[in-house]
Amino acid sequence: MAKRYPMGVTLSIYITDGEQVGSVNYGFGFGRAPTDEDMPAILEKVEAALPDGFRLMNRAESTMHYLREERGYRGPNMVIPRDGEWHDPASDVDFTHLNDEPEVYDED
């Protein structure tokens, strides 16, 4: 029998068409945590249901989106390390700039 926990888990999967960004939220219901087997199946379902022109963000795009939207970072894009299991070879060539805003310094 699967373990149940006093929590609810919702995944936010970030998508882009190169200019617009969005997220697809996938909930597991109360008490159920995702397993390693759940993740590839969920990503496959999301990819199959994406609107025309949209795709899953790569590692660099999703990291910068998180830093900007969730953490309030407003500096220039950073180099995102490419090691580890989540490596998208396509991201080695292109880096899509998301929400780039020049930093404004008040000289007063």
Q: 98 lies in a domain?
A: no
Q: pTM, whole model, 2 decimals?
A: 0.62
Number of domains composing the chain: 1
- How does DSSP classify residue 85? S
Find the radius of gyration of the CA atoms of the chain: 17
Number of C-beta neighbours around residue 30 at 10 A:
11
Q: What was the pLDDT predicted at 93?
A: 45
Nearest CA-CA partner of 55 in 28, 26, 19: 19
pLDDT digits (tens, 9 = 90+) for 20-67: 999 999 888 888 888 888 888 999 999 999 999 999 988 888 888 888
Q: 38 lies in a domain?
A: yes
Mean pLDDT of 63-91: 68
| Owning domain of residue 75 | 8-92
**% of the chain exceeding 70 in pLDDT:** 69
Number of C-beta neighbours around residue 64 at 10 A:
22
Which sign, positive or negative, has the C-alpha torsion 84, 90, 92, 98?
negative
